[in-house]
Structure 1
Amino acid sequence: MLCSSRLASLRAQATIFRHSKTLVSAPDSPSLTELSDYKEERIDNFKLSELISKQHWRDLRSIVNRTSPEKFLQFLFESEAFDAETTLRYFRWSAKEFNVCYSVEFHCRILHLLATAKRYAEIRSLIDLFVKSRDESVSLVLHSIVSTSRSARRISCAVIVDMLVLGYVKNSKFDFAVEAFERAGDYGFRLSKFSCNPLLNALVKQSRIENAEAVYKEMIRRRVSLDLITFNIMINGLCKAGRLQKAGDVMEDMKAWGVLPSVVSYNTLIDGHCKLGKAGKLYKADALLKEMILKNVHPNEVTFNIMIDGYCKDRDILSAMRLFKEMKDRPDLVPNVITYNSLINGLCQQGKLDEALSLRDEMSGMNLKPNVATNNALINGFCKRGMVKEARQLFDSIIEQGLCPNVISYNTLIDAYHKSGEMEEALKLHGLMSLDKNVCPDNVSTYNCLISGLCAEGNKKRVSEILDQMAEKGVRADHITYNILISALCKKGESKKAIKLLNEMVDVGLKPRHLTYNILIDAFCGEGKLDAAFNMKTRMEKAGRRANVVTYNVLIKVLCKKGKLEEANRLLNEMLEKGMIPNQITYEIIRRKWLSGVLFQILMGISIAESEKR
């Protein structure tokens, strides 16, 4: 039994149990005071701490059993004799040992102890476990963080909330993360870039650009320390969403914050403009390239590859070759496989097969091994020239080169066979594809090629077999599949069966597109069923598909053929009132059918105005 002088020398004592039985310690564990019934048991805090730190769990369990895990934890919190590590160790052990689900408040008190002790790794670990296993409301969690803190722990609150946001992001609980970010501002906590940047990045990856923009603007408002990573994430997200003007504004924000755009910043923005090359954005990409050179930001291989690929896709092969030459002239840059593949593909798309083959040879001379993408581009080039035999030879050589053909390799050649009317060869190649372990033969695009070719041949039986094969292998028909089948039925004058397919399409959850409706409208017009054609236009609009220029052209043309010029005029007026710009086909229909001279003049006026805009 501990004497009174020994008790007086202890740093702290605590009353934790009442009405206890006598406790007997294990031989090697710290001795405990024996107490008789209905007396207070006073325990040496140092020895109690030793029990926990040395993991004498059996002895500790006998103590905890006389109260409850929660009360014992409360005792540890209230006593100043136990450090954060000891309390955390008990917290983890007791939660597992007694299967206790500690309250949010207890979690927050532990977090405050750890924050005060600057045990940040343990904070992250505890928050990660809490977030992963619990879906407590963000409001409750933040309220508990604040209510369990002391005035001196205001800084610890901000640290905990910062790591909480990061914990939500790491566990893919993005709605919780956004709410925690917003509520942190309500409490006046200033978060760091270490939680905000991962949140921004996650939102961009999830294509939640509206949320990302809101977080970004709030970061600026709260004066969070933004860095290059912050700005690059936002530029990337806005470019992905096609909001190039706003992405450019973020570049301006960088300058205001004293952050210099990097080669990644420029590459991302240039890539965004190149992807919209058909909308006439490539001149802006070129201007950005000149700007970065002017500002001493050195373009790298990625920069040139983006620009070259952009020009190739915009069918501006001359500009692509100009940049290619400039790239080769730079001592610090060397064209790579991606560079050559973009150019070879661009040349093949324009039918310049000889130049593409020459580049492939140049590529090999630079010890750059052509890959599957290189060969796919050339196979496509041969197919475009109608050189299917040569395309097949190149396809066979892929395997000889130790490469594996991919879905694109097979589909390009299958499509070429279909277009040249060699459906037996196409089906044989599909059979070979089924045996190739490196590709998945059960993709809808391959089946669409086969169905299209068989429909063109009028081979109903084989089409039916292919559709059965798709169903058997769980390959779902897509919009293209239905459009091919609907078009085939319409060409054979079986519009009623085509309507059934349209209804089936809706039933399986596919929303018909403009092309689907226009195929049917054109078919009805061809059959002289004007009422059915206009009814289909109405159905199309009720389904949320606004009639487009193609729709109007089909209807105007048939009305003109029928001599119903007034109705054609009315439809043309409707088209103009809805803000649609007539195309060349519209002008040809009107010119040939001598529609009202005034209306033709109006159309010519529109044409001139559009030309001036361009």
Structure 2
Amino acid sequence: MLSTRTLRLPRLCASDTFNRAQINHLILNQRWSDLQFSSPDALLLFLLDDPSLQLDPALQFFKWATRQALPSPFPLPLHCRLLLLLASSHRFSHLRSLIHSLVKSRVHPPASIFHSLAVSGAPKSTLSLVADVLLTELARRSTADAAVEAFRRARAYGFKLSPLSCNPLLNSLVRESRLKTAERVYKEMVMGMAEPDLITFNTIIHGFSKAGKMQRAKDLMLDMKRRGVCPSVVTFNTIIHGYCQMGRVGGLIRAGEVFEEMILSRISPNLITFNTLINGQCREGSFSSAQKLFDEMLEMGLKPNTVTYNCLINGLCAEGRMEEARRMLEEMKAGEGTKPSIRTYNSIINGYCKKKMMMMKEAERLVIEASEMGIEPDVITYNTLIDGHCRSGNIEAAEELYGSVFKKQGFPPNISTFNSLILGFCRGGDKKKMRWVWDEMAEHGVKPDLVTYNQLIGCLCGNGRSNKGLKLLDEMFEVGLKPSHVSYNLVIDGFCREGNVRAALNLRWRMEKQGKRPNEVTFNVFIKCFCKMGKMEEANKLLNEMLMKGLTPNKITYDIIRDEMIDNGFVPDVDGHLLCARS
């Protein structure tokens, strides 16, 4: 029996003399109107002190009194005593229910609850059980901060937790990208607070993979093996996905190495494994590697799904192989369980639109085909068509499509819709229409983004109006947008083309002051500008500065060196840096 003195519970008054059998009978038969008591706290204490440990009357009275919202709610020590009695009696469903209500009410902070539990005098095993359920509920129903506070209190009071409570906490922290806190929780677990299991490792590996910290994710997989926890297909898939998200050849090579390790570990790859690898190869423009993976997948008896085909079709379209993409679409339509989605059609429509005027009619026919199959076009479909018309110079068709879909049908446009239209009208130099697009954005409550401003800045600077482009750059700060390298480079290039080198250099200084270091494009613009002015030594100094800062010259840099320097009789001196002019 728990100590009432330790819990500081209310004492029974002389008027609170209860007949236990009669009281229990009234409560169990829910005869609440016949129940006479002066203090709900005193009655609950009397019920909890039952020598036979019959908890049903106390539990039913507690729930009824709580529903009635009596003037004085039960004090926290009484609440905790009921929780501890439920835990020691293995009444776990009732324990979870009461803790759920306690957390949901937010009357008592975690610190108060844990303190009340700690001073109860209950056995450590019972306290740990209640703390475990409480942390689980806080991690799932409350804020991550409340759950972290509960975890810290549990550690301070020496309670032993389980992965059942720690894993939801880790998941909550990973979801909020709070990796440092998640790693501290993990370290406390392995130091004895809780034994990490497969879900623990998969959760924290997912967090590091999502953040691109792949070496840490890989180290954790080694750690789990050392602790006797075998990685699962989910573990390998998570790390493969992380490497594929890194992109470039290096990421894909690492993903391939993890795939090989997976096979050697006798973990069978599943459809998600292959879809991740196929998507990674297609995104990097290596369709041949994606095709090999697809063939390997079929050899292993795995059937492709809609995601598999969407990845492959997108890869083919990115390489302009439209006939093959259409054949794969037909193969997809003929297969079992591989019905095309609007994403499938959007990939092919985008592929046709990139070919500009040549294939716009084919793209429009695909929209009709999708509709006939019951696949409704979405905003991406229409944005792709509008963008295709704008890039092919057919701004009238883009404007007509906007009017028929977004104005007449009431389809909601987004920022991509307006950015495409702005690009089209910018290229056509139609200021009146550009203002119309701006008004349409305001009417639909769509705010301009970085792309919007960069397009407008590019339009102004490309037409000799770089001072106005600079004003738009300043406006970006006012509306809460941070200019990108593209934003600065567009204005710098504009000033250089206009011969206003002083303004360009001033903007470079501002750019650096605002935390943006010049990149290869910035240096290329300045080097070309000084070459055009005949200031070869100044251009040469900038080339050396570029190399000294660790920036790698690109094709445009080499073209400038050849066309503007060497062809004009000036051989650059690169101060010990290795530089080979390309032919």
TM normalised by structure 1 equals 0.86
Cα distance per residue 1:102-124 (max 9 Å; x no partner) = 33323222211221222222222
- The residue number in structure 2 matching 1:420 is 392
Is the 2:345–2:370 contact (alpha carbons within 8 Å) kept by the matching residues of 1? yes
- The residue number in structure 1 matching 2:257 is 287
Determine if the alignment matches structure 1 residue 525 to structure 2 residue 496.
yes
Determine if the alignment matches structure 1 residue 556 to structure 2 residue 556.
no
Is the 2:11–2:42 contact (alpha carbons within 8 Å) kept by the matching residues of 1? no
Is the 2:87–2:95 contact (alpha carbons within 8 Å) kept by the matching residues of 1? yes
* 1:135 shift after superposition: 5.7
Separation in 2 of the partners of 1:602 and 1:245? 34
- SS of the residue corresponding to residue 394 of structure 1 reads helix
**1:50 aligned residue (8, 12, 25):** 25
How is 1:57-136 mapped onto 2 (pairs within 5 angstroms)? 57-60=32-35, 62-64=36-38, 68-77=39-48, 80=51, 83-97=54-68, 98-134=70-106, 136=108
* 1:131 shift after superposition: 1.6
- The residue number in structure 2 matching 1:342 is 311
Query: Greater shift after overlay, 427-436 or 316-325?
Result: 427-436
Cα distance per residue 1:401-458 (max 9 Å; x no partner) = 2211122211211111001111111112222332697x95321011100111011111
Q: Which structure is richer in relative contact order (CA contacts within 8 A, separation 6 or more)?
A: 2
Is the 1:455–1:485 contact (alpha carbons within 8 Å) kept by the matching residues of 2? yes
**Gap runs ≥5 in structure 2:** 1-9
- The residue number in structure 2 matching 1:496 is 467
Query: Greater shift after overlay, 362-371 or 316-325?
Result: 362-371
Separation in 2 of the partners of 1:463 and 1:490? 16
Separation in 2 of the partners of 1:44 and 1:339? 72
Separation in 2 of the partners of 1:81 and 1:292? 57
* 1:590 shift after superposition: 3.7
Cα distance per residue 1:203-233 (max 9 Å; x no partner) = 2222222222222222112162322222222
**1:600 aligned residue (568, 574, 578):** 574
Determine if the alignment matches structure 1 residue 272 to structure 2 residue 242.
yes
Cα distance per residue 1:515-564 (max 9 Å; x no partner) = 11111111111111112111211222222222222122212221232233
Cα distance per residue 1:302-359 (max 9 Å; x no partner) = 22222111111111111111122222233x2122222222111111111111222222
* Identical-residue share of aligned pairs (%): 45
Separation in 1 of the partners of 2:245 and 2:391? 29
- SS of the residue corresponding to residue 599 of structure 1 reads coil
Is the 1:273–1:284 contact (alpha carbons within 8 Å) kept by the matching residues of 2? yes
**1:333 aligned residue (302, 305, 325):** 302
**2:515 aligned residue (530, 538, 544):** 544
How is 1:22-33 mapped onto 2 (pairs within 5 angstroms)? none
- SS of the residue corresponding to residue 18 of structure 2 reads strand
**Gap runs ≥5 in structure 1:** 1-13, 21-40, 609-614
CA change 1:421–1:286 in 2 (3 A) is same
Cα distance per residue 1:268-298 (max 9 Å; x no partner) = 2212222223152212222222222222221
- SS of the residue corresponding to residue 225 of structure 2 reads helix
* 1:179 shift after superposition: 1.9
Separation in 2 of the partners of 1:476 and 1:447? 10
Determine if the alignment matches structure 1 residue 458 to structure 2 residue 433.
no
Taking only aligned residues, the RMSD between alpha carbons, in angstroms, comes to: 2.5
CA change 1:597–1:140 in 2 (3 A) is farther
Cα distance per residue 1:584-604 (max 9 Å; x no partner) = 333433443259857336343
- The residue number in structure 2 matching 1:375 is 345
- The residue number in structure 1 matching 2:4 is none
Separation in 2 of the partners of 1:360 and 1:48? 74
Separation in 2 of the partners of 1:503 and 1:135? 48
Separation in 1 of the partners of 2:306 and 2:111? 53
TM normalised by structure 2 equals 0.91
How is 1:369-448 mapped onto 2 (pairs within 5 angstroms)? 369-386=339-356, 387-434=359-406, 440-448=411-419
**2:116 aligned residue (136, 144, 155):** 144
Separation in 1 of the partners of 2:125 and 2:580? 65
How is 1:312-331 mapped onto 2 (pairs within 5 angstroms)? 312-330=282-300
* 1:147 shift after superposition: 0.8
Letter in 2 for 1:125: S
- SS of the residue corresponding to residue 222 of structure 1 reads helix
Query: Greater shift after overlay, 482-491 or 383-392?
Result: 383-392
- The residue number in structure 2 matching 1:235 is 205
Is the 2:512–2:518 contact (alpha carbons within 8 Å) kept by the matching residues of 1? yes
- The residue number in structure 2 matching 1:163 is 133
CA change 1:584–1:135 in 2 (3 A) is farther
Separation in 2 of the partners of 1:578 and 1:571? 11
How many corresponding residue pairs? 566
Letter in 1 for 2:574: F
Separation in 1 of the partners of 2:66 and 2:332? 64
Letter in 2 for 1:55: Q
Letter in 1 for 2:363: A
CA change 1:602–1:519 in 2 (3 A) is same
Bigger Rg, which one: 1
CA change 1:223–1:568 in 2 (3 A) is same
**1:192 aligned residue (158, 162, 186):** 162
Query: Greater shift after overlay, 532-541 or 562-571?
Result: 562-571
**2:479 aligned residue (508, 530, 537):** 508
CA change 1:379–1:56 in 2 (3 A) is same
Is the 1:582–1:603 contact (alpha carbons within 8 Å) kept by the matching residues of 2? no
CA change 1:440–1:290 in 2 (3 A) is farther
Separation in 2 of the partners of 1:535 and 1:444? 32
Separation in 1 of the partners of 2:66 and 2:367? 62
Is the 1:45–1:81 contact (alpha carbons within 8 Å) kept by the matching residues of 2? no
